Amino acid sequence: MGDAAGAGARDRDAEGRARNARPRDGLGRPLPYGAPGVERQPEGVVRTPEQTVAEAQALLDAGRPFHAHEVFEDAWKSGPEAERTLWRGLAQLAVGLTHAARGNVTGGARLLRRGAGAVEEWAALGGVRRPYGIDAEGLAEWARELAGRVEGGAEGVDAGGEAPRLRGTR
């Protein structure tokens, strides 16, 4: 039915699970087989919250919000149940920035607002204003402001230039 890169075959990881092996660009878009891409984030890595925030911030600053979302997703899936809303919300913010940078106005704005709500909700329910130093209120404000600009016709969102400061300082 075709080779690994053919239309009928599915890429598999070392454990035999379906996993797209195509290279990706900095915004996570698939590139043709054999094209140079950016290194992918390993999946399923268990990090401390501090490591998660630091690694995600570095990826955001480098204009790689898709990859930052994968770091947040690891925390969401491996962390305590009580923190899942926080990490899921942060992942949604990163994916929202990814979509905005790709030119997907509707998806970008929707995910930015959804992530803002989740981060605020977690901080309010937990009574924690700055979980792991994360500026939940500032992130929500950043996300809603960017969502409004994207819906208002802002073109060419620069993922690195628009990267939020997770801890609220530049």
> How does pLDDT run across 35-90, given as a tens digit for each residue?
988 888 788 899 999 999 999 999 999 999 999 999 999 999 999 998 999 999 99
Pick the CATH number of 49-151 from 1.10.287, 1.10.3450, 1.10.10, 2.60.40: 1.10.3450
The whole-angstrom separation of Cα 117 and Cα 139 is 10
Instruction: Parse the chain into domains and list their residue ranges.
Output: 1-40, 49-151
Q: Cα separations (Å) of 84 from 46, 50, 148?
A: 14, 15, 26
Percentage of residues of the chain with pLDDT beyond 90 = 62
CB 111 within 8 A of CB 147: no
The mean pLDDT value of the chain amounts to 88
pTM, 2 dp: 0.84
Instruction: Tell which wins on pLDDT, 16 or 77.
Output: 77
111: its two tokens: 């995910």
| b/e map 127-165, b = 16+ CB within 10 Å | eeeebeebbbbbbbebbbebbeebbeeeeebebeebbbe
